[in-house]
Amino acid sequence: MKNIVLGAVLAASFGPGQALAGEGDFMLSVGNGLGFAGMEKTPALDVGTRIGMRGKTNSFFGIVDYFRVAGEADGDDSVSVSLTTVGAGIRHALRSTKPRKASPYVVGGVYTALPSTSDDDVNDELKELKTMGAFAGVGGEYLFDTTFSISAEVGIQRFAVLIEADDFDLTGAVTNSYSGFQINMYL
């Protein structure tokens, strides 16, 4: 299942992404971010990668993100939960991007998550989990030259969960803010 979803993301990024971006460059962005969610505002670190095509003003990309949270459950037991998210997005430059100039942008996209945990019993339950998320944000990119830049981004995301088990159904959603930095390479 993970390979099918990842393959679909990459195909969407390079197929229609290249056609919609027009004349463009291959894009690889690697970064990390910090998100705050829930009433406790617990921070969680994530590492993300965006792979796609950059046109004159629009960039179309696939997303592969890794997010991990660890804590204690039931007293002394340590439990970790990780989410690998895959999806697709678009970034629109509000001004033309030129070397040695900063350029603001807006970004948005959709994703799904593939969860796992250190508890084998819980992993069996997670197979029934269906997830969907969307994000929107603003950022700025500074190009050092035509092939290398750094960017910073802030935004909001909404993540919905549905568990359909034999004896119950559970739905829920989390809205959180995020911020992050990325290193971008264009080939």
Number of domains in the chain: 1
Boundaries of domain holding 28: 2-186
pTM across the whole model: 0.73
Instruction: With CA atoms as reference, report the closest residue to 117 among 160, 64, 175, 78.
Output: 78
- For residue 74 the two structure tokens come to 């039931």
Which pLDDT score is estimated for 108? Answer: 95
Mean pLDDT of 72-78: 63
Strand ranges (DSSP E) for 11-147? Answer: 25-37, 42-54, 58-73, 77-93, 102-117, 129-143
Q: How many other CB atoms are found less than 10 A from the CB of residue 131? A: 17
pLDDT value of residue 20: 46
The CATH number of the domain where 67 resides is what?
2.40.160.20
Mean pLDDT of all residues in 35-50 = 58
Query: What confidence tens digit (pLDDT) does each residue in 135-149 have?
Result: 999 999 999 998 899
pLDDT digits (tens, 9 = 90+) for 81-122: 777 888 999 999 998 878 888 999 999 999 888 888 777 777
